Amino acid sequence: MTPLQAMRTPPVDAIVLDINMPGGSGEDTLRKLKMSTRTSAIPVIILSGSIDAAGPERVRSNGAAAVLSKPLVPEELFQALDAAL
């Protein structure tokens, strides 16, 4: 399921997005998710291997619950999910 499909399906607990996605960016998708009343309350965790220095704060200001660096450490993802849920 893509994040935008989540807007048209039953609610999900959380969404994990990569900052660089085919056909768009995680930041754009995050903004769309946060603008929809159906998905705005769903926590979104952003993953990135190439975010600029200002990126984490910018993404958080757009509504991301957490920003994690790649390579992903599973325990960090689990902690971010626990904190967001």
Digit-coded pLDDT (tens) for 22-77: 787 888 899 999 998 888 999 999 988 876 666 778 888 999 999 998 888 999 99
Query: Distance between CA atoms of 72 and 62, rounded to whole angstroms?
Result: 22
Identify the sign of the CA torsion 47, 72, 85, 38: positive
The more confident residue out of 1 and 25 is 25
3-state helix, strand, coil in the chain (%, to 5): 40, 20, 40
Query: Distance between CA atoms of 77 and 63, rounded to whole angstroms?
Result: 17
Phi, psi of 67 (to 5 degrees): -130, 120
